[in-house]
Amino acid sequence: MSNFWARTITGLSMVFMLLFSLWYNTWLFAGIFLVVAILGMWEFFTLYSSDEIQPQKIYGTISGSIIYLLLFLVNTSGGSDVDSVVRLLPVYAAMALFFLCFIIEIYRKKPKPLENIAITTTGVLYIALPLALLNLMVSASSTRMFGFPAFLAGYFTLTWFYDTAAYLFGKQFGKHKLFERISPKKTWEGTIAGALVTTLTSLLLSYMVPGISLTDWLVLALLVVIFGSFGDLAESLLKRSLNIKDSGTILPGHGGILDRFDTFFISAPFVFLYFVLRNIL
């Protein structure tokens, strides 16, 4: 099977699985992304493990998973007072849990403690936290689109359309490198095509979902294009520093978990920030 068809089949399967979980049940959606977070963190820690540098793979993966679940509890705890101290207890617990890696490193007697702590904390912040924020946008969105939470489903849709258009158009017509030092295959032609397709998709979504304004859809499209691109480049930078092509082999045609979800790792925090601000202002 060619790489194109392997990539297509894997991509479509994941789209179907994520959309089904988003439509069917909040817990199923959270569970799928918990698996993604666990595999992604383990993949990240493995990539940066060496004879000298040894991140806390087990603790990092467990603590990142617990932080993910604690933030999920904030989403499911209910209550009308969002600022309630009781409801935010999982957040405080997550903050405390995050710093235990410093204490653990004291007893490990490894040659590179600072690097070990840095990679462990980076893996949690870079992977688990952004994916956890997706759960906070599920039930907080009252507007629906074909049974899905409209804002989050729109975010996924715009991201997938952007990635697909940028990949296909760049592969076929790309000549001018976007950031050759980091990612030789990414081109301005692909990026511009992806941006245009994403903008047109946001216009279509504004007609399909009148409960969300055109301005919101255009801002969401802009966030996807800008920070999704930086997410892709950031993961390419990490791979470049390790002199590897793919972060893993678990996903046929895509590589590893980091290769497939890199767009979300950087864009999700900014999309979540806008999601919160639009509900406040």
The predicted pLDDT at position 234 comes to: 92
Asked if residue 225 has pLDDT above 80, the reply is yes
Element holding 186 (H helix, E strand): strand 183-187
Q: What is the mean pLDDT of residues 153-161?
A: 92
Asked if residue 164 has pLDDT above 70, the reply is yes
Higher pLDDT, 245 or 85: 245
**227: amino acid identity, one letter:** F
In sequence order, the 6+-apart residues with CB closer than 8 A to the CB of 194 are 161, 162, 163, 164, 165, 166, 169, 170, 225
What is the residue extent of each domain of the chain? 1-140, 142-281
Calculate what percentage of the chain has a pLDDT beyond 70.
89
Beta-carbon count within 10 A of 13 CB: 12
Distance CA 153, CA 160 (A): 11
Average pLDDT over the chain, rounded to whole? 85
Q: What is the mean pLDDT of residues 86-109?
A: 82
Asked if residue 79 has pLDDT above 60, the reply is no
- Write out the DSSP string of 222-271: HHHHHHHHHHHHHHHHHHHHHT-S-S-SSBTTTBSHHHHHHHHHHHHHHH
The predicted pLDDT at position 219 comes to: 96
In sequence order, the 6+-apart residues with CB closer than 8 A to the CB of 249 are 255, 256
Distance CA 153, CA 259 (A): 21
pTM of the complete model: 0.88
179 is written with which tokens?
Answer: 């950031």
85 half-sphere exposure, CB direction, 13 A CA radius: 0
Distance CA 94, CA 104 (A): 16
pLDDT in tens, 3-50: 666 667 776 787 888 888 888 888 899 999 999 999 999 999 999 998
